[in-house]
Amino acid sequence: MSKGRDRIVFRRGDEWINKRQDSDRASSKHGTQREASDAAKEMLRNQGGGELTIKAEDGKIRSKDTIAPGNDPFPPRDREH
């Protein structure tokens, strides 16, 4: 089950969208996937952590990552990135 602060990055038209899973509107729009994922990670850190899902251009899930809270003194080791 998705928490309200979980985020997804995907392509819509010629833009990369960063949005909350439970939202209808984009939080931000970017020219590259990297910019959108960096913005999503920063938002998740500021909101206390959560899950980030990144989709490829074809719409398939490319990556899932758990983002730790920005003030977590012992963040978990991320083995994917």
Task: Please tell me the predicted confidence (pLDDT) of residue 1.
Answer: 42
What's the pLDDT tens digit per position in 24-47?
A: 999 999 999 999 999 999 999 999
Residue 56 lies in a domain: yes
Q: Which domain holds residue 16?
A: 7-66
Residue 72 lies in a domain: no
C-alpha span between 67 and 54 (Å, rounded): 13
What is the percent of the chain with per-residue pLDDT over 90, rounded to a whole number? 73
Residue 73 lies in a domain: no
Name the stretches of the chain with pLDDT < 70: 1-4, 70-81
Residue 37 lies in a domain: yes
C-alpha span between 35 and 28 (Å, rounded): 10
Task: Please tell me the predicted confidence (pLDDT) of residue 22.
Answer: 92
Residue 71 lies in a domain: no
Q: Report pTM.
A: 0.81
Q: What's the domain count of the chain?
A: 1
Residue 41 lies in a domain: yes
Residue 54 lies in a domain: yes
